[in-house]
């Protein structure tokens, strides 16, 4: 149940990012990860919003936006099948 709730929050985060950028944002990237990239690159959006988002998610520990950026690279929000990097074209059979 906890994972399902987390999935909903991640989906809302990604939707918010795409809506805020009027469709220009990457649909699989979270707002937190994007704010980290913007901050790293010296963009005003990152300088303004990354500290606010980090403060908002203080209970997750320091560096929320940076951690979100790292999770994007680790594909933490992907199904296991996608993380392996090899497409499966045959149907999976249930284990007896």
Give the integer Cα–Cα distance in Å for 12 and 88.
Answer: 29
Closest CA to 77 of 1, 18, 3: 3
* pLDDT of res. 38: 93
Q: What mean pLDDT, rounded, does the chain reach? A: 86
Confidence (pTM): 0.76
Give the per-residue pLDDT at 94. 65
Q: What is the pLDDT of residues 45-71, one digit of tens each?
A: 899 999 999 999 898 889 999 999 998
Better pLDDT: 62 or 93: 62
Within-domain flag for 58: yes
Q: Which residue has the higher pLDDT, 96 or 38?
A: 38
Which domain does 37 fall in, by range?
Answer: 2-78
Flag whether 89 is in a domain: no
65 within a domain of the structure (yes/no): yes
Would 94 be classed as within a structural domain? no
Interval 63-92 mean pLDDT:
81
pLDDT score for 22: 84
Total number of domains constituting the chain: 1
């Amino acid at each position: 149940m906890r994972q399902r709730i987390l999935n909903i929050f991640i989906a809302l985060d990604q939707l918010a990012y795409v809506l805020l950028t009027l469709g220009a944002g990457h649909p699989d990237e979270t707002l937190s990860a994007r704010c980290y990239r913007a901050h790293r690159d010296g963009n005003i959006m990152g300088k303004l919003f990354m500290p606010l988002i980090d403060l908002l998610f203080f209970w997750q520990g320091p560096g929320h936006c940076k951690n979100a950026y790292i999770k994007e690279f680790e594909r933490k929000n992907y199904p296991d099948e996608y993380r392996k990097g090899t497409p499966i074209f045959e149907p999976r059979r249930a284990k007896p």
